[in-house]
Amino acid sequence: MGDSLGLIGKRLLLLLSDGSSAAAAGGGAVEQAAWLRGTVRAVSVIGLVFVEFDDSPWRQRSWVQVYGDEVRAVLMESAIVWANCSDPSLSAAQWPALMFKPLVDHVGLGSLVPVEFFGARTLAFLPNGSSLHTFEVGNCHKICVVIFLHVLIQNFCTVKVDVHNHLILGLCVIYVAGQSVLKDQNKVRRLKQSGESFLQDGSCINVAPHLHKCRECRLERYRKSREDEDDDDPSVSCRFFHFRRLAFTKKGVLRVEGFLSPQQSDSMAMGLWLPSLTVHEGLDLDTSKYILANVGDQFCQLVMSEKEAMMMVEPHQKVAWKRAVRGVREMCDVCETTLFNIHWVCRKCGFGVCLDCYRLRKNRPPEGRYDKGSVFSWLKCAKGQPHEPQNLMPTQIIPGTALYSIGDMVHAARGKWGIKANCPCTSRHSKPLSGAANSVGNGATSTSATTRPNGEPAAGAAVKTEPVEEAGIADTTSGSSGTNSSTPSPAPAPTPATKDGKGSSSALHWLADLATQKEPKGETNGVFTPDAKRICASLLLRHRHKKINVLNMFLFIYFCSFSLKQADKMKGGLPNFLDHIIASVVETKKSGTAPRREGLMGLSVLDPHTSHSWLCDGRLLCLQDPSNTNNWKIFRECWKQGQPVLVSGIHKKLKGNLWKPESFSKEFGDQDVDLVNCRNCAIISDVKVRDFWDGFQVISKRLKGGDGQPMVLKLKDWPPGEDFRDMMPTRFDDLMENLPLPEYTKRDGRLNLASRLPNFFVRPDLGPKMYNAYGLIYTEDRRVGTTNLHLDVSDAVNVMVYVGIPEGDSDQEKKVMQTIEEGDVDDMTKRRVYEAKEKPGALWHIYAAKDAEKIRELLRKVGEEQGQENPPDHDPIHDQSWYLDQTLRRRLYEEYGVQVWSIVQFLGDAVFIPAGAPHQVHNLYSCIKVAEDFVSPEHVKHCFRLTQEFRHLSTTHTNHEDKLQVKNIIYHAVKDAVGTLKAHEPKLGRS
């Protein structure tokens, strides 16, 4: 196949031997054949290419045997040419196109020349190639990079385009990169005569070597001088490229004229930051409303933070605009957080700092009282000069006023669609849209006056409701915290507020009256059954001093009342059921040695369509059918309360042979890896991965430590980084095909906010990531973790794909059961071992995200008792230096009231861990686990908070760098949701 590396990234046309291919063999029907189009992502030495086909999901990316029997033709991108296009929507002029050449041609193309036009993306087979010539601009050959953008052209304005810089073809933008404008003598002559400024269109070294060079160009020049290289590296990421403006003086000397301003943005740049006018793929109406309900408040905080940043700009300072660059993640040079919008830049070297670092440095105490360890180190400028905050230039990334426009759209959409808002900008009111009725203020709470979508005032205004189009839609009235849900009900509306204006109190009294009223003798068909009334009265009497979501309680009892009556008739189950309902509606606090609170067992009657059980004494949902399409409904009720969830039975759907240790050993045995000794955290470097896999289930083959005993090892970062998909494509497809809750976990899942980040940006590394380790089964191992206590910035699902029971220890089953007994595991979980005979793999302990600070307080206290130091840039959880054994867990519960979810992960179990939830893992047997990260609407607030928290960690922490880009994810998720709602506004008008 020639130079295989040269094929990667190129376009490919493929024709397989099906009915249409046979027809194409005659040559006359080639244009009508079922040609597949895609991009080559990987190439094998045996003639295989890994193709990403157009408009196909991940699972349809596959390997193609180029010279296989079923392949009729394989055509590969060859060159960019000018060609006549017959598309009636285009003019008769020539247009840029990709020309293809055949690698395999069994259909007899003959003189036909295949081309694919940019912009229209149409495929054509031209009679001959005589009319084709190489694509060029002016007299110089160029390198073309194709960038696909959805360009939003507002008010039908005409966009003037300079063909020498770029071409707009429909929704396609072709950027022409090549020699600088300064290489064209005619243009240079005109620029000198006019004195007109122009954008720097190359690296500092090539364009302006005598002017101040940015940091990247200076480092690149230093590197090349050390390596004695003369050629300029085109991959240099110049910080002033298309940012700094240059101009010639009257004497013809090049000087810096300034920088781009936000008002100089164009429609192409705005198109990346404003919603399109069409419904986004994978984003329906209900999902959009749910995203705004959960993420809208966080977005408003973003907008407020940006406004506060603008207030820090001095009146005499001008704000610059730095256009977002495809494939470049702008980062703070101090704390390595992704730069979202407002930041400060050095005009001389391009050094950039985020809002938080700028504020911290600007507000620091006088130099005499300045603690150098309390602030991140700031890099020096040219000639060793320090960067002073007052000398830096305020810069924004989002063009124009797009950010504030989206903010206005969010408030208007939430008011118009009846989506509850608890955002901080409570004094602001949304603007009414054209043809819209009066809408609720953006800061409305559940007790504020509201207006229904049809314009009618809501009675009572104590509870907000919205019309429902179909059963089971997304909960769009829950606040950003996601702790309460409101569902439309056929119940009568509450009475108006009392004189003192306490609407919620009136609703409480109304519910109490309804629950305690007497029903006529012989009538039992009211809204509440007698049993339900007793429950309601009990709730109000026992918890009258606690904060209760009245609507939640009413709806819960209403839907449960009939099931309660049946349960009472059959087996007198009312008392237990009453406890379950009380536990799921009212958040009780632990006092003394009270028994554990049972969580959401009452949900079983709300959704009978999912096979599930409850573990951890009723506090942990276990879904038993991973392929059930209704799983997300009951999952979300637990997930929004910050609870982990277990899904079992996934191993029955996976291809088991792919996940066996001998399979990994055979395929990758010669790779060099690092191992970690779980008992002492020592690293064993440069060993073959075969040494690990061969001892996975055979203790005698394990590597031995200095004491001659077999070590308990785990693989460190294997496969490394983002290599899982490229290194193990078959396993990647198998995992992605069978991940539970695909709405959340798939890369294109509708409730995975990471899927909303455009391809223009560097995609965050969300996995999959493998965790491979031996089991810890001895008594002394129970104080040691396979993975110590830590927390992650995003949500995650961890799947147990293989459990290996090692040979060579006859008492290991007994030791494992002793570990489970000491792990505070509930009886239901133990039955899975004793009765169901399932394979236990790992013992998890997961804590709620809200308890993280209490855990830190305990660990700091224990550390001080043991004489340890607590440096300011370290954290007892993020350091991953603690494993909470039974003693520490018990102390945490007794001193701080913090409960834990003790979970045994069996073969085929998937553990869902909420963002920010501290957790630890202790392998019972040798385990192969694979984890995939995602960003759910319910927990994005934790992602946002943790990003700020991780900034203050030392650079040695793996989570220090902000790879998630949570602010960008929030922005584009809200942008797409707002766009979808605007596209559905005609439907709202008809309702």
Single residue among 259, 275, 300 that ends a domain in this structure: 259
> What is the tens place of the pLDDT at every residue in 419-476?
988 876 754 444 433 333 333 333 333 333 333 333 333 333 333 333 333 333 344 4
Both tokens assigned to 752:
């995975």
- Return the axis-axis angle of helices 530-542 and 574-585, rounded to nearest 10°: 50
pLDDT at 226 over 50: no
**Judgement on whether residues 77 and 210 belong to the same structural domain of the protein:** no
Structure tokens at 328: 């470049």
Pair (87, 231) in one structural domain: no
Q: 167 - beta bridge partners?
A: 174
Looking at the structure, tell me whether residues 134 and 196 fall in a common domain: no
pLDDT tens digits along 775-801: 988 888 888 889 999 999 899 999 999
758 inside domain: yes
Do 782 and 919 belong to one domain?
yes
CA proximity to 803, closest of 845, 843, 847, 830:
843
3 state DSSP class of 136: strand
The model's pLDDT over 282-299, given as tens digits with 9 standing for 90+, comes to 788 999 999 999 999 999
CA–CA dist 654, 632 (Å, integer)? 21
- Among the candidates 227, 259, 291, a domain finishes at 259
Give residue 404's pLDDT band: very low, low, confident or very high (50, 70, 90).
very high
Where does residue 968 rank: exposed (0-12), middle (13-18), buried (19+ CB within 10 A)?
buried
Asked whether residue 135 is assigned to any structural domain, the reply reads: yes
* Number of domains within the chain: 3
Residue 856: which of 838, 837, 878, 835 has the closest Cα?
Answer: 878
772 forms beta bridges with 928
Percentage above 90 pLDDT, the chain: 32
Count CB atoms within 10 A of the CB of residue 165. Answer: 12
The answer to whether residue 554 sits within a structural domain is: no
Q: What is the DSSP string of 8-32?
A: TT-EEEEEESSHHHHHHTTSTTGGG
pLDDT at 84: 76
pLDDT in tens, 704-739: 888 888 899 999 889 887 788 889 999 999 999 999
pLDDT in tens, 372-402: 444 457 888 877 889 999 899 999 999 999 9
The four Cα atoms 910, 916, 922, 927 give a dihedral, to 10 degrees, of 40
Supply the pLDDT for residue 94.
Answer: 72
Contact 921, 787 (CB under 8 A): yes
* pTM, full prediction: 0.68
Q: What is the pLDDT of residue 470?
A: 35
Residue 173 lies in a domain: no
Which of 348-352, 498-502, 557-561 tops mean pLDDT?
348-352
Residue type, 114: P
pLDDT of residue 379: 86
Domain membership of residue 848 (yes or no) is yes
Structural domain contains residue 893: yes
Instruction: Check: CB of residue 704 under 8 Å from CB of residue 710.
Output: yes
> Are 107 and 250 contained in the same domain?
no
Same domain, 144 and 200: no
3-state secondary structure of 750: coil
Domain span including residue 859: 645-960
| Same domain flag for 703 and 827 | yes
Q: Does residue 137 have a pLDDT over 50?
A: no
pLDDT at 715: 93
**Average pLDDT, stretch 884-901?**
94
Q: 3-state DSSP: the chain helix, strand, coil percent, rounded to 5?
A: 35, 20, 50
User: Does residue 535 belong to any structural domain of this protein?
Assistant: no
Contact between 491 and 501 under an 8 Å Cβ cutoff? The reply is no
**pLDDT at residue 876 greater than cutoff 80:** yes
Domain co-membership, 749 together with 887: yes
d(CA 102, CA 616): 62
Q: Are residues 861 and 945 in the same domain?
A: yes
pLDDT mean across residues, the chain: 75
Q: Tell me the CB-side half-sphere exposure of residue 94, using CA atoms within 13 A.
A: 15
DSSP string, 452-500: -TTSPBPSSSSS-----SSTT----S--TT--------SSPPPPPP-TT
**Sign for the pseudo-dihedral over CA of 625, 798, 697, 653:** positive
Rg of the chain taking only CA atoms, in angstroms: 32
Task: Give the pLDDT confidence score for residue 533 in this predicted structure.
Answer: 52
- CB of 395 closer than 8 Å to CB of 239: no
341-350, 739-748, 861-870, range with the lowest pLDDT: 861-870
Task: Output the domain CATH number for residue 714.
Answer: 2.60.120.650
Q: Are residues 49 and 132 in the same domain?
A: yes
Are residues 747 and 877 located together in one domain of the fold? yes
What do you get for the CA distance between the two ends of the chain, in Å?
60
Residue 816 tokens, joined: 């494992």
Left, alpha or beta for 649 (phi > 0: left; psi -120 to 50: alpha)? Answer: left
pLDDT over 90 at 591, yes or no: no
The H or E element that residue 965 is part of is none
Cα separations in angstroms, 489 against 452, 471, 551? 15, 12, 9
Domain's final residue, options 132, 154, 176: 154
Whether residue 19 is contained in a domain is answered as yes
The answer to whether residues 838 and 892 belong to one domain is yes
Lowest mean pLDDT among 11-15, 554-558, 797-801, 943-947: 554-558
Nearest in space to 878 (alpha carbons), one of 980, 952, 773:
952
The residues near 208 (Cβ < 8 Å, ≥ 6 apart) are 200, 246, 254
